[in-house]
Amino acid sequence: MAAEQEGRKWARIDIWEEACQIVLDRLQKEELSIMGDHGPRLFCAGCDRYFDWPEYLQLDHNIPRSEGGSNNLTNRLLLCGPCNRKKSNTLTLTLTGLRRRNQREGFMA
């Protein structure tokens, strides 16, 4: 694993609790999050809503693995539950398409 070679922690996506904490630790280490009252304040890439509780966000693959997308961090993003369900496991709705759809439907923050 490239992450192990670089001395980083690695977690499989199917272990949500561990993966969530590793992502939060890395975001905080790289100062990519905004601190809220209850820790890091993260936002959904699909609707720009901020969440104080990371449990409301889900780790998603921008290009689904079933469509050949990698499991690399560069192909991952955090989405809230409604945005993740809209995007689903398809190439027909990319992150850009999801954001456009959310703007049309008035779902953007």
In sequence order, which residues have a C-beta less than 8 Å from that of residue 41 and are 6 or more positions away?
33, 34, 35, 50, 51, 52
Q: Which CATH class is domain 2-104?
A: mainly alpha
Place of tokens 């499989």: 12
Arithmetic mean of pLDDT, 11-21: 59
What pTM was estimated for this model as a whole?
A: 0.60
Least confident of 5-14, 23-32, 38-47: 5-14
- Per-chain mean pLDDT for the chain: 77
* Pairing, β 50-51 against β 39-43: antiparallel
Domain residue spans in the chain?
2-104
Q: Give dist(CA 32, CA 64) in Å, integer.
A: 24
Count of positions (residues) in the chain: 109
